[in-house]
Amino acid sequence: MPAIEGTAAGSRSSPRWSSDEVTVLFVLGGPGAGKGTQCTKLVSDYGFKHLSAGDLLREEQNRAGSEFGEMIKTYIKEGTIVPMEVTVQLLENAMQSSMESGENHGNLFLIDGFPRKLDQAHAFERSVCPSKFTIFFDCSEAVMEKRLLHRGETSGRADDNPESIRKRFRTFVETSMPVVKEFESQDRVVKINAEQEPDQVYRDVQEKLKERGVTPINLTFVQTQAS
């Protein structure tokens, strides 16, 4: 992953790529909703490049010489949101790297765990690329906490503990749900019941994507009348 070289994305007034050049689907859901599991399946079957905002931030915090590493580490530990400019730039860098490598022939991206705030959504679509729509994995707090505590037994992640988990829940409800609501008002949300077994969740995802014109490999994205 390339290092951050300034935060050009945060100051750009028009998108770097158009929706004709790049297809971006946002993937949102509370911590433990199963976003990563479902994204893995979508990558295999549909040909998307999966970018996890959280993974990119964790990689950056551990990258030797990163000017943002310590700051990111503090934000993650406290369960709060890393400054928008940093996250948007990391995503843009990762998209550019993927396209330049030739590994993503259709320039198709699933961006997982982003945008976490309305200003992130607006900044990304203004300066990087408009998204097609958002897949929202809807799951209760009780189910998500149970999943995360189980994961914490083996993950080694500093934020897989009860206190950090509850902070992350509160942060998601207060800051990320307004993103979902705004996109819903624009008919740009695919809502999935994420409390089911993973295979059933995935079947529901496939059906909803089909309704939006997204089909398995060889994937061709076709905008439906609804979108």
pLDDT, residue 180, reads 96
User: Would you list which residues are annotated within the binding site for ATP?
Assistant: 32-37, 151, 196
How many structural domains are present in the chain? 1
| Domain presence at residue 106 | yes
By three-state DSSP, how is residue 57 classified?
A: helix
Bridge partners, residue 180, by sequence:
none
Residue 129 token pair: 């690329």
Residues 6+ apart with CB under 8 A from 119: 84
- Domain carrying residue 188: 31-51+98-211
Q: Is residue 9 part of a domain?
A: no
Domain membership flag for residue 14: no
Asked whether residue 205 is domain-assigned, the answer is yes
The span from the CA of 27 to the CA of 25, in Å, is 6
> What is the reported pLDDT for 54?
84
Q: Given a cut of 90, is residue 66 above it in pLDDT?
A: no
Domain assignment of residue 79, yes or no: no
pTM for the model stands at 0.81
Q: What is the mean pLDDT of residues 57-65?
A: 90
| Per-residue model confidence (pLDDT) at position 152 | 67
Q: Per-residue pLDDT for 226 more than 60?
A: no
Is residue 76 assigned to a domain?
no
Angstrom distance (rounded) from CA 218 to CA 61: 36
Q: How far from the centroid of its chain's Cα atoms is residue 181's Cα?
A: 16
113 lies in some domain: yes
Q: In this structure, are residues 49 and 98 in contact, taking their beta carbons and an 8 Å threshold?
A: yes
Binding-site positions read 32-37, 58, 80-82, 113-116, 120, 151, 157, 168, 196
Whether residue 75 lies inside any domain: the answer is no
**Which residues are known binding-site members for a ribonucleoside 5'-phosphate?**
58, 80-82, 113-116, 120, 157, 168
If phi > 0 it is left, if psi is from -120 to 50 it is alpha, else beta; for residue 113 that is left
- Express each pLDDT in 11-52 by its tens digit: 667 899 999 999 999 999 988 899 989 999 999 999 999 998
For 104-138, the pLDDT digits (tens) are 767 899 999 899 899 999 999 999 999 999 999 99
Q: What percent of the chain stands above pLDDT 90?
A: 51
- Long-range CB pairs of 220-227 (<8 Å, 24+ gap) are 221/23, 221/106, 221/108, 221/132, 223/132, 226/187, 227/132, 227/133, 227/187, 227/188
pLDDT digits (tens, 9 = 90+) for 143-180: 888 888 887 666 767 666 778 888 888 888 899 999 99
Confidence at residue 149, expressed as pLDDT on a 0 to 100 scale: 84
Q: What is the mean predicted confidence (pLDDT) over 61-65?
A: 89
Q: What is the CATH number of the domain that holds 136?
A: 3.40.50.300
